[in-house]
Each structure stands twice: as C-alpha cells, then as structure tokens.
Chains A and B, each alone.
Chain A
Amino acid sequence: MTGAEPVQTVLRLSNITKRFGSLTANDAVSFHLDRGEVVALLGENGAGKTTLMNILFGQYTADEGEVELFGQTLPPGNPRAALDAGVGMVHQHFTLAGNLTVWENIVLGAQPLAAMSLRPGEVKARIRDLSARFHLKVDPDARVGRLTVGERQRVEILKALYRDARILILDEPTAVLTPQETDALFSTLREAIGMGLSIIFISHKLHEVMAISDRVLVLRHGKLVAERPTAETNREELAALMVGAEVTMPEITPSTPGAPRLSLRAVSTEGEGDKPGLDAVTMDLCAGQITGLAGVSGNGQAALSDLLSGLRAPISGDMTVAGEPISGWTPRTAIGHGIARIPEDRHHTGTIADFTLAENAILETYGSDFSRRGWMDWARVRSHAEELIATYDIRCPGPDVRIRLLSGGNMQKLILGRVLEWGPEIILANQPVRGLDIGAVNYVHGRLAEARDAGAAVLLISEDLDEIMRLSDVIHVISEGRLSPPFARGTMKPEDLGAWMAGHGFEEAAHAS
C-alpha cells in the first residue's frame, strides 16, 4: 500500500453473539479488516471460528451484533449477500464437484440460473486470464476429480477471484499442502494483497500465522481474547493465548532402536480405484523407535496402513513380523502378531458411533478377554471401561455413554487406551491427532512416545510435516506408492522432505540401490 492512500476498513464485525441452546458459540466478538491486510484468526476446534464465518456468510443469523461490508450493513441470514458484496471463501473441505470440470466448478452459481447458456468460451478465457495474473496454474478443461489437492485449492481460490472477491477468507488452507505448495500459496496471497484484496486467514498452525499475517486475533471459547500485531508477538505467546494456559509440549528424547519388529522387502500391493498400491516398498519398523511416514494424502498411505492392519496382503516381496514370514495375513492374524491400530478415521473405522463407550473399548478383544464360554461378561467390560476412563483421562458421563456424544479428543483417548492397554509390539498410528486441539495433541504425542520408550515399534502416518519431524526417530517419504530411504532425525529440512513428497529423488534412489 502506498502511504498516501487512507486506510480503508472493508469489513467490520460488531458485537457478534450467537447462542446454540446453552452454548454461546460467539460472545460479543468485534473486529475489523482493512484493505490490503492479512488478519489471522487463531483458535482451537470449537473456539467459534467457523460459527463466526457462517454468520458472515448468512448460514446462521447472529443473535446480536451486525456485520458491515464496505460500509454497508449486511442483511442477516442471506447466503448470497456476502458473496455478492465481494467476499470469497476457500473452505477447508473443498466445495468442488469431482465429476465436473474446472471451469464448470468455477462458474457454478456465478451466472443467473435463468440464463440460456453457460458461454464456456468466455468463461474459460476469463479463467485463463485470472490464472495468469495470480500465477494459479490450472487447466480449465481438466476434471476436478483428477487434480491434486494443491490444484483443487487453486480452483477454489480462482472461484473466489472469478466473482471479483475483494475479501478472501481461507479456512485452514495449508492443512493438506506440501511445504512447497504452501510457499506457492503464500506468494499468491501476497500478490492478491498487492492488488488490493484483504485476507482472513484461519489457522491453528502458529508458524504460518506468523509468516503471512499482519495482525492476529485469538478466539477462545467463543470470545475474542487477544489481538496482536504479528510483529509484536511470538509463537509461544500465541499458543498460550489460544489454549488459555502455558503450553508444555511433551519432551521427545532421541531413542535407541532395538531389533526390527516388522520388515518389508520390495513389497508391492494392489491399488484401489485411483489410489496407488505400494510399489516395491522396503522398510523396517524397529522396537523402541517412531518411524514417521510423510507424504501428501492419497499417495499410498492407505495401502501401507491396510497392509499392516491385515486388510490387504502383498502381491510380491517379503514381509516378516518378528522375524517370521507372514502367512494367511488377515486383521485377526495382524492383531495376533501384536499390531495395534489407531485408524485414520476415528468416526467411521475407529469406533461404532451408536455403541457405548464400554462396548467400543473392547471391539478388538471381546472374544478372548471379555467372554466366558461364549457369553459376554458385561461386569468385566464395564470395569475395564471405567479403568480406561480413569487412566486415559477420558472426559465423559460414564461407560454407558454413546460414543458419538464424545468430543474428538476424548474419542481418540479411548482408542489410544484400547490400543495401548494390551501392550502392543507394533503401533500403527494413522493421523492420530487430526482435528484435535493442542491439549489433546500433546497428550496423544506424549503417550505414543511413552509406548515407544516401553519398547513398541511405532509407525506414525501424518500429513502434518511438523508433527512427523517432531516425533519421528526416522522418516520415510511416500509418493505414488514408492518409499524413500529412511532419514534419521534431524538430517532433513522441511524443504528437502517436500521435494521427496512432490516425487523427486525416487528415480535416483532406485538407481543407487
């Protein structure tokens, strides 16, 4: 911005209050956004960020307060009002239709429904123009289902720009990107700011907030608890503000690994649909070691996790557990070999939503430990659940609560307890902290490190590179089903791993071996 121009406030929220029953999701929240400014909205899950944006977009009507856009009061409860006034939102879960092309997705809703023609030529020309101006490379005729996650995000941003958005709201935009893609996103955002757009950046990743924003707003339990110019704060302060207490991350000390518990030698598996299988993967999971698996989602993580949990058998290569080649590989034999799983999707494959906590706690062990002569021993099931609740600090009304009523963090604590309780030799942790708040994240990480120190071999699959780098003693990168060589703790920078994540280096590694 040139100094001569007066600062112009483009968006002002005044005293927004929204209640759901007894819960106050937003409590008198006020803030403003200036032209050419990036404001970061920081807060844990449930802090009220999404509710606030839904009010801005007319999905909810605020109980009190008002929204002012470019000096005009926004009519409440009208989803089109904010869009028409020039606010574009890039949702965390992309709102794209995979079966449609890029240009169809972009133009959806941008033309009056009564129009007689889509005018594809015009639309595509405008998209090409925008993608050149903002360096958002994407083919308008490509089908969205075939694009990478990074490309899909570009489509989302183009969608907003196509509507002449002057304010961009990005909800957790980097959650699924490689470090390189994140850098590219940030330079696009800087370009947009240079052209006079304003940005609200919603995130819980502190270093990104520090890197991109001019000002940080911290939401906690629906209240705006702090506002800081980015230049005058630091990650530690922001983390404390976000949680409301000093945050102590669990200390992860380097470990001395033991013997390999599970070994793969040139193992390949079949893919599923457009998801790749494993391509001659070689790795060792050693006792007392956390092995991190980095990679962009959909590059074979599911294949590896299916293989280890017994859902899929190798089509070639050798797989040994505890030194023995596997035979008749099923989930049952996997559990028999001491492999415990923290599934990727705790709602769908991790738990049964309408079963009670006690029932969910014994899903893997009901047959052996909790039945006598074929009859369930419910008294033991209950006391076992009560033990887990106490040991793993699961906040809930009791063992009979239906699991769907638990928060993500408490659900994950239950799964963790269920897994760690029987002292597994190998732990397969697939996205163990996705969607959890900092307290729960630290708890899960601490417990995994404890399990490692007790001698378990841990495989940590995550899309969050920070998490991988902090926890892992050794890191592999997976790309299109191929696995990189192992990298020891501290030997790789995020950019180096990012290059592997983007698929570089595998050919050379294959030649070298």
Chain B
Amino acid sequence: MELLEILLSASFWAAAIRIASPLIFATMGELICERAGVLNLGIEGIMVAGAFAGWIAVWAGLPLWGGVAVALLTGMAFGLVHSILSVPFGLSQHVVGVGITLLATSLTFYTYRVVLPEVSSPPKIEAFQAFEIPILSQIPIVGPAFFAQTPLTYAAFVVVIVTALVLYRTPLGLAVRAAGENPSAVAAQGLSVTAIRMGAVIVGSGLMAVGGAFLTMSAFDSFFFDMVNGRGWICIALVVFGAWKPGKALLGAILFAAFDAFQIRLQQTPVGAVVPYQVFLMMPYFLSILALVAMSRRAEVPAALMVPFNKGER
C-alpha cells in the first residue's frame, strides 16, 4: 500500500526527474560520441570537471547561465584532447577514455586546491531555482513532477529533442551515424570522417560536462569531490539500454532515476527499518542490470564503434 502511495506522489516523480536530469545530458553526450563511432570513457572525469567549472565560475561572479557555458566549454576542451588522441591518432579508445577521466578528475581537484587553498568546506552559490511553467504546472501529479523543475532540467529535455532531430532529420546527423556504421562510406563521399568524429566527441563531451554542472548548480549549490559518484558509467550503460536511440535512452535515464528516488523513499518506510540501507542503495544498479539484460539483447551496436578509421587502409 505504501509502495503505491510512493508511486502516485508528485514529489516522487519530481525527484525522479531531478535525479534523471544530469544523466540525460551526459547520456545524450555519450550517445552522440558513440553514434559517430567513438566510445568516450572520459565521461566520468568530464562530468567532474563540468561540475567544478560551472560552480566555480558562478562563485567567481558569472551569472548562472554563464556558469553553464563555462562547464560546456570545459567539457569541449577535454573532448578536443580525447578526439585528437582517439580519432586522427587512432589510439585505443579505452585507454584514451580512462586517461581523460583520470586527467580531468585530478586536474579538477588540483584547481580546487589552487583556487580555494584555505577553506575546509566548499562555498555555496545561488543555484538555479525551480521555475513553474504557467498552466502546465497546475496539472495534478504531472504538473509538479515535470513542469516545476529548474530551467536546466527543461534544457535537458530540449537537448534530447534536438539530438534526435539532428541525428535523424539532417544531413549532418546522417553523416554522424554513417561515420559510426561504415566510415569508408563517409570518406567515399569526400567527407572527412576525422572532422565528423572529432566534432561529435567535442559536442558530446560538452554535454557531459553540463550534466556534471547540473549537480553543483541545480541539484545542489556546492561542489564535493565525490559528487559525480559513478554517474558517468551509468550513462554508458544507459546508451546501451537505449539501443543508441535518444528517446529510448531518455526513458532509461528516467527509469534509473525513478529506481533511485524509490529506494530513498523506501528507506523511510517500516521495511527500511529492518533491511540494511545498503540493500536499497544497491537496488537501482541491480534493477538496471536486469533491465539492461532484458532490453539490449537485440540492440544494434554501431558497426564501427571503437574502430579507428585510417584513410587509405582497407
């Protein structure tokens, strides 16, 4: 009975959408990279860097949207490094990605200490506030859940729509998808596979960083070292879960977030008093693995994912 109550409450769904927002940004970023044929394991570190960069920029005096832009550019810079190593140099995408994650994470911590050498607890910023969309936010349950979020959450949904439109409805998106399926088909048309793949990695990395920035600028109002906490890796799984399709990946992100919001609430019920809380913490991951097994069996992986392209080689 209590379970049903949780599922029908507006606050539960509002929390789910809020938890999903950073995942949505970063999942779209990863999806764009992978559709072009590049696995971006730098995602975890880029999210950390984005979380820090957006927050510190606002702390230093920029407006909130200025902070988002700084996060975006920070992510794109790491994307540029990743893409130079993984695309024209054709290095192992696994090694490059893990390297970028380590680099971005450590560089972030270093910068934090350089900028704030004395503080024991990180300063707070004036974060994004919920913005109630007139009329729509008045709908019962759905209104407070979907239409009383922060502007950055709305932006996440816009990013999904734009990603889907560009990928499926424009010549550029077609070229990106073809670069991930058969790069020689792209090269045979006189298009540059290198430019397309690098562009996708740079844009995708920018979105990952905005996903990170959501944590410090919308979900919370400060920066902590372990706040990304594996969300990047979850996004990589969500791309697979979504079968490399933006709409399905969005559903996956919301589903995962709903599990997460659900377990938090479940901890406060009588059941939570008996079962150790670690079991609840584990639940979203456990259920995600089950969902992944069920959903991704028939998924069509981009055929050239993780295959470097060298012009002239066949």
Contacts and interface: CB of A to CB of B under 8 A. Distances in A.
Interface of A: 54, 58-60, 78-80, 83-84, 89, 91, 93, 95-100, 104-105, 107-118
Contact of A99 (B175, B188, B302, B311): B302
A113 B185 contact: no
A165 to B, nearest CB: 13
A318 to B, nearest CB: 34
Given A79-B187, A100-B177, 10 more contacts: A78-B190, A95-B188, A97-B185, A98-B303, A99-B302, A104-B174, A107-B174, A108-B175, A113-B172, A118-B170
A204 B174 CA distance: 35
Given A83-B189, A83-B190, A108-B189, A98 B171 contact: no
B174 A108 contact: yes
Interface string B138-176: 000000000000000000000000000000011110110
Contact of B178 (A58, A108, A116): A108
Nearest to B182: A97
A98 B303 CA distance: 8
A167 to B, nearest CB: 15
Interface of B: 169-172, 174-175, 177-178, 181-182, 184-191, 300, 302-303, 311-312, 314
A72 B234 CA distance: 55
25 contacts: A60-B312, A79-B187, A93-B184, A93-B314, A95-B184, A95-B187, A96-B182, A97-B303, A100-B181, A104-B174, A104-B177, A105-B178, A105-B185, A107-B171, A108-B171, A108-B189, A109-B186, A109-B189, A109-B191, A111-B171, A113-B172, A114-B171, A115-B171, A117-B170, A118-B170
A59 B189 contact: no
Given A96-B182, A98-B182, A99-B302, A118 B188 contact: no
A297 B187 CA distance: 26
B172 A114 contact: yes
A111 B175 CA distance: 10
A113 B188 contact: no
Q: What are the 5 A-B residue pairs with the smallest beta carbon separation, nearest first?
A: A109-B189, A97-B181, A80-B190, A79-B190, A95-B188
B182 A113 contact: no
B129 to A, nearest CB: 34
Contacts of A109: 171, 175, 186, 189-191
A172 to B, nearest CB: 13
A112 B190 CA distance: 12
B169, B172, B182, B191 — most chain A CB neighbours (10 Å): B182
B170 A95 contact: no
Nearest to B302: A99
Contacts of B302: 99
B190 A95 contact: no
A108 B185 contact: yes
A311 B178 CA distance: 34
Nearest to A89: B188
Nearest to B191: A109
A115 B184 contact: no
Nearest to B179: A97
Contact of A96 (B177, B185, B300): B185
B181 A98 contact: yes
A52 B190 CA distance: 17
Contacts of A83: 189-190
A392 B188 CA distance: 39
B312 A113 contact: no
A90 to B, nearest CB: 10
A112 B185 contact: no
Contacts of A107: 171, 174
Nearest to A91: B188
Contact of B171 (A54, A89, A105, A118): A118
Contact of B170 (A91, A110, A115): A115
A164 to B, nearest CB: 14
B172 A95 contact: no
Given A95-B182, A99-B300, A113 B190 contact: no
Given A59-B312, A109-B190, A99 B181 contact: yes
Which among A98, A113, A114 has the highest number of chain B CB atoms within 10 Å? A113
A54 B178 CA distance: 21
B170 to A, nearest CB: 6
A80 B302 CA distance: 26
A111 B190 CA distance: 12
Contacts of A95: 182, 184-185, 187-188
A108 B181 CA distance: 12
Contacts of B177: 97, 99-100, 104
A79 B189 CA distance: 8
A104 B314 CA distance: 23
Nearest to B173: A118
B189 A117 contact: no
Contacts of B187: 79, 95
Contacts of A58: 190
B190 A118 contact: no
A91 B282 CA distance: 52
A406 B189 CA distance: 32
B94 to A, nearest CB: 21
A320 to B, nearest CB: 38
A110 B174 CA distance: 11
A108 B169 contact: no
A114 B170 CA distance: 8
A95 B304 CA distance: 13
Contacts of A108: 171, 174-175, 178, 185-186, 189
Contacts of A80: 190
A101 to B, nearest CB: 10
Contacts of B189: 83, 108-110
Nearest to A83: B190
B169 A118 contact: yes
Contacts of B184: 91, 93, 95
A69 to B, nearest CB: 14
A95 B174 CA distance: 15
